Amino acid sequence: VKSSIYKPLTESEAIALAKRLQLFTENSNLTCKEIGDGNLNLVFKITDTDNGNGIIIKQALPYAKVVGESWPLTLDRARIEAHALLKQSEFVPQFVPKVYYTDEQLAITIMEDLSHLQIARAALIEGKELPLLSTHIGEFLAKTLFYTSDYAVNQHFKKSLVKQFINPDLCKITEDLVFTDPFFNHDTNNFEQELGQDVERIWQDQELKLAVAKLKQKFLTKAEALLHGDLHTGSIFADENETKVIDPEFAYFGPIGFDVGQVFGNFLLNAFSRNAENQEVLFTHIETTWNVFVKEFSKAWKNDAAEIFAKTEGYLEDVLSEIFEEAVGFAGCEIIRRTIGLAHVADLDTLQPFDKKISTKQLALSVGSELIKNQKAIKNPCQFKEYVKQTV
Ligand code: ADP
Ligand code: MG
Ligand code: MG
Ligand code: MG
């Protein structure tokens, strides 16, 4: 099927495309609804009203709506998202949506409809346990990251992969919104005036800012593995049995600890929002994510690491401890930017009453700063709990 040049689809054009691609039978009765919640992409859900079967068409828009302005954003991210999903499905098909069709010109990916699952952030806010979430995410991280890294991949092939996933526009968003703006008085920042003193303390903290600059430099230069790049709990669909990771449009070759740290950071953001007696399940999710990651990464290493790495004693342990140290720092950056930066999380923003929201955000800022400054002291995921309990 030959596609036209780019234009944003309407709902009826989305239906026509699905029919043209024979994703449904000729006479199906189809409904279509645009369900995207972001400012960057359209998400069409097309359903056959006779049997309930459906598909999703995700289409990139050529701009992002931010702070009232329009920010041009390459459509190439749709190609990156589709290729990242396909690459991840080589290692963990059980944890990503099936891709049915992609079109670079139209900037679309057509994929499995996951509406039977719930976005993990929403489920955690409702207090659902999602008992397998961290087991699955630990395995997702270990396999997608190990098998796209130089530890496993022939160096020549690895460089051809790096080239496919050059993603400067989306990386720039992270470089600015995660590693820069929240630590300076930038107009993208967004926080309640009651947090003014806490924010000022961050902006004055030279030790903190030095550590953040080093983390940013790692993000810019360490092409270790193909990251998801935006692995917050809003990018995960889950229920009691299943977990699916969506939305890898920020994929690029970066430091493994970044993906791991975003997962830790988002579990912690949800933990902050809970009373002490309900926090334990989140600390357990963090520990399980890391323990499963270590187990699966080590297994993959034993089976498939290139000889120079596999046969060098102590090297695996060294790699794992560096990933953990970086993840602690990246988790701290994620927590701070989700509290005072441009893009917030509902875990904190929906807290009531107002005083409780403010005091919880103060806790988030303190814990985030402590993680960044104590990357080397924190050796084990059990210690996150101590930092949350000790910090006021
Ligand atoms: P964005 O990059 O704009 O954040 P996402 O890929 O995260 O887009 O999708 C936005 C929303 O669209 C999701 O939160 C979810 O509600 C819905 N969505 C996306 N992909 C699917 C899917 N495969 N099945 C069902 N709903 C989906
Ligand atoms: Mg979104
Ligand atoms: Mg998303
Ligand atoms: Mg996205």
Side-chain-side CA neighbours of residue 67 (13 Å): 10
Same-domain pairing of 153 and 261: yes
CB contact set of 356 (below 8 Å; sequence gap of 6+): none
Same-domain pairing of 247 and 354: yes
8 lines ligand 1 (CB under 6 A): no
Whether pLDDT at 380 is above 60: yes
Distance set, CA 302 to CA 87, 298, 299, 307, 309 (Å): 22, 6, 5, 10, 10
246 lines ligand 1 (CB under 6 A): yes
Long-range contacts of 368-371 (CB under 8 A, 24+ apart): 368/265, 368/331, 368/332, 368/333, 368/334, 368/335, 368/336, 368/339, 369/202, 369/205, 369/208, 369/332, 369/336, 370/332, 371/328, 371/329, 371/331, 371/332, 371/335
Whether pLDDT at 182 is above 60: yes
CATH code of residue 30: 3.30.200.20
Q: Which atom of ligand 1 is the closest one to the Cα of 40?
A: 3
> Any known ligand binding at 230?
yes
Which 3 state secondary structure label does DSSP give 70?
strand
Distance, CA of 272 to CA of 274 (rounded, Å): 6
> Any known ligand binding at 112?
yes
Look at residues 66, 95, 113 and tell me which one is the last residue of a structural domain. 113
Look at residues 79, 113, 147 and tell me which one is the last residue of a structural domain. 113
Bridge partners (DSSP) of residue 34 are 44
116 lines ligand 1 (CB under 6 A): no
Nearest protein CA to atom 19 of ligand 1, as residue: 43
Residue type, 333: C
Q: How far is the CA of 178 from the centre of ligand 3 (A)?
A: 16
Same-domain pairing of 173 and 66: no
Identify the domain containing residue 299 by its residue range.
114-390
Q: How far is the CA of 212 from the centre of ligand 4 (A)?
A: 24
Distance, CA of 92 to CA of 226 (rounded, Å): 14
Q: How far is the CA of 79 from the centre of ligand 4 (A)?
A: 13
Per-residue pLDDT tens over the stretch 313-351? 999 999 999 999 999 999 999 999 999 999 999 999 999
ipTM over 0.90: yes
Q: Which of 3-17, 55-69, 104-118, 336-350 has the lowest mean pLDDT?
A: 55-69
Per-residue pLDDT tens over the stretch 128-149? 999 999 999 999 999 999 999 9
Q: Indicate if the alpha-carbon torsion angle 164, 170, 174, 176 is positive or negative.
A: positive
Distance, CA of 340 to CA of 328 (rounded, Å): 19
Same-domain pairing of 149 and 285: yes
CB contact set of 143 (below 8 Å; sequence gap of 6+): 91, 92, 296, 300
**Percent helix / strand / coil, the chain, rounded to 5:** 55, 15, 35
Q: How confident is the model at residue 67 (pLDDT cuts 50, 70, 90)?
A: low
The mean pLDDT value for 116-125 works out to: 98
Same-domain pairing of 170 and 62: no
Distance, CA of 15 to CA of 29 (rounded, Å): 10
Closest listed residue to residue 221, CA positions, set 249, 252, 189, 244: 252
Ligand nearest to the CA of residue 43, numbered in listed order: 1
pLDDT the model gives residue 186:
97
Q: How confident is the model at residue 63 (pLDDT cuts 50, 70, 90)?
A: confident
Q: Which atom of ligand 1 is the closest one to the Cα of 39?
A: 3
Q: What are phi and psi of 128, to 5 degrees?
A: -70, 150
Same-domain pairing of 118 and 190: yes
Residue type, 349: D
Nearest protein CA to atom 5 of ligand 1, as residue: 247
Nearest protein CA to atom 11 of ligand 1, as residue: 36
Whether pLDDT at 19 is above 90: yes
Same-domain pairing of 371 and 359: yes
pLDDT the model gives residue 315:
97
Arithmetic mean of pLDDT over the chain: 96
DSSP characters over 305-367: --HHHHTSTTHHHHHHHHHHHHHHHHHHHHHHHHHHSSS--HHHHT-SSHHHHHHHHHHHHHH
Same-domain pairing of 108 and 132: no
Ligand nearest to the CA of residue 119, numbered in listed order: 1
Per-residue pLDDT tens over the stretch 28-41? 999 999 999 777 89
Same-domain pairing of 159 and 29: no
Domain count, the chain: 2
Same-domain pairing of 145 and 104: no
Bridge partners (DSSP) of residue 189 are none
Closest listed residue to residue 341, CA positions, set 127, 165, 185: 185
Look at residues 113, 130, 159 and tell me which one is the last residue of a structural domain. 113
Same-domain pairing of 280 and 134: yes
CATH code of residue 310: 3.90.1200.10
Same-domain pairing of 101 and 235: no
